[in-house]
């Protein structure tokens, strides 16, 4: 939270005033990043001055630059050609998208290969793009910053696995602490002579040395990297998990061990078909699973979270002014969505202030979701009315939003569904209902119906509809309207107010007059 903004305008609450118009934030309008990894080369273009990244463009080419390096010490010749072709394409795309100069980084394969500098020189000569080759410590730091982009103020251990290396970084109070790098990338493990026993011995020995440097790390373990995400997809399939969003997916140590055993016993080709992952990616997963099993045994984290944010998002975080870094990623992303897509940007704040008295006992984390829902309550108005409720639900549960647990995604989606519909039967929510308790489902329904009613009283972003008060002991829901809002309280508005009262199991009372 920004204290200066809080002082400047108390009405914006604990989230401060929007920052979109500040020059230092507008400079992030469109940022292009190229990540030259050991296994893949990817270009991501982030769009929008929001605290959560909006992915304007995202393309990956599996090049396997690090394949065979254990024997030759050089980049894979075919992978090098594919990488150069991919970067040439990315440079042209960046110009077409007006990203400005692309930021390009190379990691383990390029920094360790004897011809790595020659490859970077060739890329710059052929495309004009300068590649920054980062060392293992810097790679770990950037990946950890990517995690902080999605989880500000978080703590624990970040583990980023690539094709040729694996990095660990401590994060505490929103700051990256100690970092350490290793050669435990699945491409290198695959090429190791001596088979499974040799791999197991190397993994155990390397992780023990890393633990000696970092000390005990039994808080949360954040997993960054394509191999970890694939393991999470397999875990989802094994468990029959209903939501397919990888970011913030949680696994217990017990679940990881079960999935590692499942991978070991499975046919790779069948897994590819079932999970929808390329053979090139899946071939590395068994070796990554061996590392993950020993990693958990060595550091004993209390839980494990998948992060879709890594080094590329860390580079975006690097360019953010501190004022933006300190913001809540969910609220900033929702504010940006409202400013871009709502019919009356700014009315979400009116809705929030109007309905908040219904949730006086809500904890800060719940009020945060209420704020997010109010900001998003009108961003899907272009959808066909018959599908608007489903569109809202899908947007909330599947969008790239940081700082959201899966249960919170579903809560937010259900509230927005009720913004446009009176029931959820026959919708996508039925498949995800197990992620919310009955109490949470009822709270989301009340929130959605409160927004549905508030939306009837919307002359402008400075509207003053009046007050709603809820008296729990009396189970009384009281409505007082301003002179400005009273003419807007027609039959449909009254019907929606009554529906809200019924969901709250409250007696409705309409005073119709309110004086500030």
Q: pLDDT tens for residues 137-183? A: 999 999 999 999 988 888 999 999 998 899 999 999 889 999 999 99
Instruction: Convert the pLDDT of each residue in 306-319 to its tens digit.
Output: 999 999 999 888 88
In this predicted structure, what is the pLDDT of residue 514? 58
What the block records as the tokens of 255 is 């679940």
Q: Tell me whether the CATH fold assigned to 16-133 matches the one assigned to 137-313.
A: yes
Give 516's pLDDT tier (boundaries 50, 70, 90). low
pLDDT band at 428 (very low <50, low <70, confident <90, very high): confident
Confidence class for position 2, pLDDT limits 50, 70, 90:
very low
**What one-character DSSP code corresponds to residue 301?**
-
Give the bridge partners for 418, in sequence order.
Answer: none
- What's the average model confidence in pLDDT over 277-299? 93
- Residue 85, pLDDT > 90, answer yes
Integer-rounded Cα radius of gyration of the chain: 25
- Record the tokens describing residue 438, joined without a space: 């009955």
Q: What is the pLDDT of residue 336?
A: 85
Class of the CATH domain delimited by 137-313: alpha beta
What are the extents of the domains in the chain?
16-133, 137-313, 328-461
What pLDDT does 327 receive? 86
Please state the rounded mean pLDDT for residues 386-396: 89
Q: Averaging pLDDT over each range in 46-50, 119-123, 425-429, which range is the top one?
A: 119-123
Q: What share of the chain is helix, strand, coil (3-state, %, to 5)?
A: 50, 15, 30
Tokens 């493990």, residue located: 189
Find the range with the poorest average confidence among 26-40, 61-75, 139-153, 434-448. Answer: 26-40
Tens digit of pLDDT for each residue in 102-150? 999 999 999 999 999 999 999 999 999 999 999 999 999 999 999 999 8
Q: Where are the alpha helices (DSSP H) in 215-328?
A: 226-239, 253-265, 268-275, 279-282, 285-299, 311-319, 322-325
Contact 402, 408 (CB under 8 A): no
Angle between helices 226-239 and 268-275 (to 10 degrees): 80
Higher pLDDT, 264 or 402: 264
Is 392:317 a contact under the CB 8 Å cutoff? no
CA torsion through residues 334, 339, 341, 344, sign: positive
Kindly report, residue by residue over 444-467, the tens digit of the pLDDT.
Answer: 999 999 999 999 987 678 888 899
Q: What is the DSSP letter of 486?
A: G
Q: Which of 116-130, 363-377, 385-399 has the lowest mean pLDDT?
A: 385-399
Q: Is 476 helix (H, G, I), strand (E, B) or coil?
A: strand
With 0-12 / 13-18 / 19 or more C-beta atoms within 10 angstroms meaning exposed / middle / buried, residue 124 is: middle
DSSP state letters, 328-385:
-HHHHHHHHHHHHH-SSTTHHHHHHHHHGGGGTT--HHHHHHHHHHHHHTTTTTTS-T
User: Is the distance from CB of 189 to CB of 293 less than 8 angstroms?
Assistant: no
Q: Is the pLDDT of residue 423 over 90?
A: no
328-461: CATH topology is Hypothetical protein af1432 (1.10.3210)
Q: pLDDT band for position 8 (50/70/90)?
A: very low
Where residue 251 falls among pLDDT bands split at 50, 70, 90?
very high
Above 80 in pLDDT, residue 4?
no
pLDDT value at residue 100: 86
Q: Which tokens sit at 405?
A: 């647990």
Kindly give, in sequence order, each residue whose CB lies less than 8 Å from that of residue 41, ignoring residues fewer than 6 positions away. 34, 35, 60, 61, 63, 65, 82, 83, 86, 87
The percentage of residues in the chain with a pLDDT greater than 90, rounded to a whole number, is: 68
With beta carbons less than 8 A apart as the criterion, state whether 503 and 449 touch.
yes
On whether the CB atoms of residues 243 and 435 are closer than 8 A, the answer is yes
User: Edge-to-edge strands of the sheet including 166-172?
Assistant: 175-182, 166-172, 156-161, 220-224, 303-307, 250-251
The pLDDT score that the predictor gives to residue 10 is 43
User: What is the fold, at CATH topology level, of the domain defined by 16-133?
Assistant: Nucleotidyltransferase; domain 5 (3.30.420)
Q: Whose CA is closest to 104, among 84, 77, 118, 74? A: 84
Closest CA to 396 of 344, 456, 447: 447
Identify the weakest region by mean pLDDT among 11-15, 262-266, 286-290, 508-512.
Answer: 11-15
- This model's pTM is above 0.85: yes
Q: What is the pLDDT of residue 408?
A: 96
- pLDDT interval class at 70 (50, 70, 90): confident
Where does the pLDDT of residue 9 fall: very low under 50, low under 70, confident under 90, or very high at 90 and above? very low
Q: What span, in angstroms and rounded, lies between the C-alpha atoms of 189 and 395?
A: 40
Which of 15-24, 50-59, 461-470 has the lowest average pLDDT?
15-24
Q: What was the pLDDT predicted at 307?
A: 94
pLDDT tens per residue, range 232-248? 999 999 999 999 999 99
At residue 275, does pLDDT exceed 50? Answer: yes
Q: Encode pLDDT of 185-207 as tens digits.
A: 998 998 888 889 999 999 999 99
């Amino acid at each position: 939270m920004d204290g200066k903004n809080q002082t400047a305008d108390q009405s914006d609450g604990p989230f401060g005033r929007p920052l979109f118009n500040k020059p230092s934030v507008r400079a992030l309008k469109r940022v292009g990043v190229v990540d030259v990894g050991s296994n893949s080369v990817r270009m991501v273009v982030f769009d929008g001055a929001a605290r959560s990244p909006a992915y304007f463009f995202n393309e990956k080419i599996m090049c396997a630059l690090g394949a065979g390096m254990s024997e030759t010490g050089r980049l894979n010749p075919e992978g090098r050609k594919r990488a150069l072709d991919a970067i040439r394409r990315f440079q042209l795309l960046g110009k077409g998208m007006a990203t400005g100069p692309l930021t390009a980084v190379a990691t383990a394969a390029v920094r360790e290969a004897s011809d790595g500098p020659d490859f970077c020189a060739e890329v710059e000569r052929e495309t004009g793009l300068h590649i920054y080759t980062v060392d293992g410590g810097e790679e770990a730091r950037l990946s950890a910053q990517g995690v902080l982009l999605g989880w500000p103020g978080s703590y624990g251990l970040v583990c980023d696995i690539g094709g040729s290396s694996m990095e660990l970084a401590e994060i505490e109070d929103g700051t990256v602490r100690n970092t350490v790098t290793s050669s435990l990338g699945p491409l290198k493990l695959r090429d190791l002579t001596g088979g499974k026993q040799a791999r197991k011995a190397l993994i155990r020995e390397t992780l023990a040395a890393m633990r000696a440097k970092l000390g005990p790390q039994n808080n949360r373990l954040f997993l960054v990297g394509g191999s970890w995400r694939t393991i999470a997809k397999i875990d989802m399939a094994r468990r029959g998990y209903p939501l397919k969003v990888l970011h913030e997916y949680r696994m217990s140590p017990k679940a990881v061990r079960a999935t590692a055993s499942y991978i070991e016993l499975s046919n790779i080709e069948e897994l590819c078909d079932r999970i929808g992952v390329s053979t090139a990616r899946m071939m590395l997963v068994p070796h990554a699973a061996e590392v993950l099993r020993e990693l958990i045994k060595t550091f004993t984290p209390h839980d494990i979270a998948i992060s879709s944010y890594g080094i590329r998002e860390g580079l975006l975080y690097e360019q953010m002014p501190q004022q933006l870094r300190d913001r809540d990623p969910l609220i900033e992303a929702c504010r940006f969505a409202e400013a871009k897509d709502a019919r009356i940007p700014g009315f979400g704040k009116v809705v929030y202030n109007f309905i908040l008295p219904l949730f006086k006992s809500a904890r800060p984390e719940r009020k945060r979701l209420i704020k997010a829902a109010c900001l998003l309550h009108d961003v899907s108005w272009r959808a066909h009315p018959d599908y608007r409720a489903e569109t809202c639900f899908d947007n909330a549960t599947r969008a790239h939003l940081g700082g959201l647990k899966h249960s919170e995604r579903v809560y937010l989606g259900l509230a927005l569904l009720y913004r446009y519909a009176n029931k959820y039967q026959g919708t996508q929510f039925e498949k995800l209902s197990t992620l919310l308790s009955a109490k949470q489902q009822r709270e989301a329904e009340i929130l959605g119906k409160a927004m549905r009613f508030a939306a009837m009283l919307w002359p402008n972003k400075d509207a003053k509809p009046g007050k709603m008060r809820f008296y729990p002991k009396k189970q009384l829901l009281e409505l007082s309207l301003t002179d400005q809002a009273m003419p807007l309280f027609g039959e449909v508005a009254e019907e929606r107010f009554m529906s809200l009262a019924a969901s709250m199991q409250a007696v409705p009372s309409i005073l119709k007059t309110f004086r500030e």
